[in-house]
Amino acid sequence: MGKALKTAGAIIGGAVLMATGVGALAGLQVTAMGIAGLGTMSVASLQLTSAGLMAAGAMLDKPKSTASGSPSDWTSNPDQGIPFLFGRMGVAGKIVHRDEYGPDNRLQGIVTIYSGAGPVKSFQGFTADELPVSFVSNGGTAVGKYNRQMWRSWRMGAQPDTALSLPTGLDGGAVMPMWGPLYKLSGKACDLLTFQQDSKFSVYPSGEPQPMQVLEGVYGYDPRYDDTYPGGAGPCRYGVRSTYRYIDNAIIAALNWALGMIENGQVVGGIGASLQGVDLPAFVEAANIADANAWTVAAWPDTSEDASVVLDELLEAGGAKRSRVAGKISCVSRGAPRPSIVTITRRDTAGAIELDTGASRFNRLNTITPVIMSEAHKWKHAPMNPVAFAPLVAEDGGKRSDQIKYRFVSKVKQGAELAAYDILDAREPFSGTIPLLPHLRRLKPGDCFDIDEPGFMLDGVKMLVLSRSYDARVGEVRIAFRSETDSKHPLALGKTTTMPEYPGLTVPDPTEVTGPLPGDWTIVPRPPGESGVQVPIIDIIGEVSNGTATAVHFEWWVVPAGVDPTTSPPPDAAWQSAGIWPPTVTSIPVQANPGASIWIAASYLRGENFSQRKLYGPITVPGLTAGNVIPTAPTIVGLQGQINAAFGGIFDVSELLADARTQLDAQGAEIAAARGGQATLNARISQVNQARIDGDEANAIAISGVAARTAHTEADIIDLENALANETMARAEAVGQLTARQALNPNLTPNGNFEAGSSAGWGLPAGFGAGYSSFNGGWIAYGELTSGTVRNVQAPLTSVSSDVAAIQSSQIAYRMASNAYVAACVMFFDAGYGYIEQTPWEPLAPTTDWTAWKAEGYTKPAAAAWSRIVVTTGGTEGFINLRQAKTEAGSVCTIYSSDASVSSLSATVTDQALAIVDLENQQALAAYELLANASGGLPAFLRLISSTAGGYAALAAPVVALLNSIPGGDLLVAMQAIGGEVFFPRPVYVDLGGRRLIMGPGSGWVLWFGPDTINAAGATRTNGYFALGTDGKVYYGNAELGGGKTGGARSFSSGPGGSSAQSTVPGVLAGSMLEATGAINGGSLDADAPLFGTISLYEESGGVQTLVY
């Protein structure tokens, strides 16, 4: 092991990314730099990173107060918050009502609140303009200077309480308006001050005096005094205010602030968490440490402040930091040393360690001036004497100081101790994160662990857990930590002046190789084989645990005669090599002298460097024994048995021949019996079949049973055929049942199982994602649940418009680890995506196995156009995975299938029937087989086997029947083969896109094309788009092509200038179709003057011609 390197030396301020799963690190170099506090590290299997980890930063951050004023300010503001007083403290209060009255308005009444969530423990000293004032009674006048000039009544803030009483005996019998017995301030510690000015205005020349009231604050729940809490002792009960205890402990004040400040059963301040939402053991531990250190509280927060910041400030006064455990509000105390509860090695890690090897220079102070709430300074925040450590000032080359406000601290010693902790905690040399395997998930903030792994360079360093997170998708626990030095605590608490010795990096020797660990290798003497042979071999079985080893070396040493074999080998032992093997080897044989005592040694190599030998022994080498010299060896016994069997067989040949004749005779008799008096077995089968046909099935089965009991050749064949037939029937029935169970409904939800390879359509809130998970074998949606956060995960929108059945069912698969309230429902939306209603929320039970939540048989709202499955997650720590969202028609959920279709299953069902069997030669003469896809998604096929040669015809199921049947009518021939040609005796239809083509014969047509609403019986030559008539004519629309009229031919001769001819067709109806043709007959054409021209059609009406073509 290398020497420790102090962090004040070469490695400060550097961050190292450590690859886990390694032994001592190859090529490690540590180089001191000329600049103090800086260094470089070069490691072959490590990477340097300058990203300063912030794991410890939160531990050093101070709460940012949001208080708007000072407790010594007597304020009057209609928007001011309700104050709450913890511990002993002086405050001026908050004015909630004031009025002037009496003669010349010389009387003034002022109502002031000091604390909500009462009652408080006591009212102590009262001052006016820093002059102590006492009163003759509660409601009476002042004693001394302000006698009959000042009156005061007060209430402790009981729940309920009575109204503040008005003074009596005022000048002129004046009574304060807008006040009386009904003006109660239950739960508020308050008072009513009445000031009376004299006629000369000499009593209060500068106005009403500034009051200051010292109180002992509110009561609260303390689980340490609750018999029902483990370890508690006392009658204190949560929710029973009469059992509460006075709060002077900062941690108990923080606990009650987290639970909420209660008045008349309502939360009026604080956070308001449930008792189950708070980590009580952590608060109890921190409270006990605060009591041990005599750390108290003097706090006066109000509801206008950030409740979480107030919680941090209360915990700070008690030497603790806020944390979170399993979604609960928790805390970590830093006021006492903590034991390590687990030792971590590389086998506990799940990835690379991120290590920051130097505290931030900005945070690393050596002098702090604490600012506290000082009674000596009239209950104002004031600076105390600086807290400094001379060795640290010298180490830093000068004073680095800051002023820190400890808002809720009133003791000088307490403030100094907290400042000392801030200085010493900032000096902790290491912080970072470490990924661990799930079995260490129970580590929580405030726990300590140490590391025992040379490759991590942190041997023996205790680490404090600052935070913990869990990635459910990869099964990784990530711990943020900071080094924890026990010797700093006595110094911070003023019990010693000795500076703590902070830990340093344990730098490994670059030539050092970590050797085999216990359990890496097992030595097993090889036992005798089945033949009885035993050889002198030792088997070494195991695996190399050092991930950086490049080879493993095995050696053996024979114990000399006369030496105690239990004595470890001496340093100069004559080891014999059993070979250097690659690190992947798992079994090595070592052969030595029979019966010798030996020791085995294993060592790992990296490059040319060897680890220390790991010794195994002593071991006795097995003796050498040949199988053929052992009388009871299996070989000898087997040979003897074979010889006996052979001789026995030879001696009994004649007897066996006699038995064979007897059996043949019996066989003939049994065959005759099986034939049942018939001449041949074929005749017997015919008789059996006839028995079945006649309904005498019982007799047929009985005969079959006789045949089944027959034990010889032909009867065996009959029995076999019958058994196969029965088996086929049973198998067909079983397959039919399987098909029924596997029936699937189409999934209406698109991308329900991320078939698109993305999260398209899914609504994933912050903290959730989707991706491929090798652990779960596909895409999933995943998320980690967090405290105080409600998130809704939405499956893709599903179209459930009017063409979808009203009765529907939905399901989604999930797995989760959480105690939170997690529930699912189906929500419905209109065509504009407006919310309509939903099914009831149904809680999901925690499970680490995939489970389906189902909502079956619900009726969708009539106006619903869309629906979606929604999963809501409550606030606690844990994880949830989701996949396979499905919505389908029907009242029962079927198994998951892909988007908008039923998944095709690859299994097929074969229904085979043997029609005729020739039992003499066991040949099938004819058979049929029906092959159908198991899910029904593909067409069935019928295969007809025609002969023993196996020839067959295969027909697709939709057209398997050549005879088409009309329900209730006779069978009609759809297609017929005659004379080698195929005939269709009825019209053939082809429908596509709302149009229909019919091939005749029909009513006066042989081919008709038109709308698909007309069948062959109603089709005519003129009620479609096109028809070919039986008269040889073509019809377009409602008219014959050309209308049945011709224009006749015209002849002309053409010269070089060209000519034209015209033909007129009279009486053509509007909308008729015309056909114009032309031809050239006779004459001659000049090859150099090619023929060209056009044909034009004109419409003439009333002597006017209009060109139409």
Question: Which two three-digit tokens encode residue 731?
Answer: 């198998």
Report DSSP state, residue 226: B
Tens digit of pLDDT for each residue in 475-522? 899 999 999 999 999 999 999 999 999 988 877 677 888 889 888 999
Q: Which residues contact 465 (CB under 8 A, 6 or more apart)?
A: 443, 444, 445, 446, 447, 448, 449, 479, 480, 481
Mean pLDDT of the 441-462 span = 86
Contact indicator for 273, 259 with CB cutoff of 8 Å: yes
Express each pLDDT in 559-576 by its tens digit: 998 899 999 999 999 999
The rounded percent of the chain whose pLDDT value lies above 90 is 42
What residue ranges in 644-731 does DSSP mark as E strands? none
Would you say residue 901 has pLDDT above 90? Answer: no
Quote the CA–CA distance of 707 and 630 in Å, as a whole number. Answer: 53
Residues facing 1028 on adjacent strands: 1007, 1034
The predicted pLDDT at position 235 comes to 97
Predicted confidence at residue 344, as pLDDT, reads: 92
CA distance 194 to 141: 9
**Tokens coding 38:** 């800086």
Kindly state which CATH superfamily the domain 768-889 is placed in. Galactose-binding domain-like (2.60.120.260)
Q: Which of 286, 359, 290 is nearest to 322 (CA)?
A: 286
d(Cα 11, Cα 826) in Å, to the nearest integer? 59
Where are the chain's structural domains?
A: 4-62+337-361+414-506, 100-131+146-220, 370-411, 636-740, 768-889, 908-960
Distances from the Cα of 516 to the Cαs of 28, 604, 659, in angstroms?
A: 21, 7, 70
pTM for the predicted model, two decimal places: 0.51
| HSE toward the beta carbon, residue 466, CA cutoff 13 A | 21
Mean pLDDT, range 331-352, rounded to an integer: 91
Q: What is the mean pLDDT of the chain?
A: 77
Q: How confident is the model at residue 42 (pLDDT cuts 50, 70, 90)?
A: very low
- Do the Cβ atoms of 14 and 39 come closer than 8 Å? yes
Query: What pLDDT digit, counting tens, does each position of 1051-1073 carry?
Result: 555 455 555 556 665 555 555 55
Predicted confidence (pLDDT) per residue in 582-628, tens digit: 999 999 898 888 888 999 999 999 988 999 999 999 999 887 665 44
Radius of gyration of the chain measured on its C-alpha atoms = 50
Whether 548 contacts 511, CB under 8 Å:
no
DSSP 8-state class, residue 663 = H
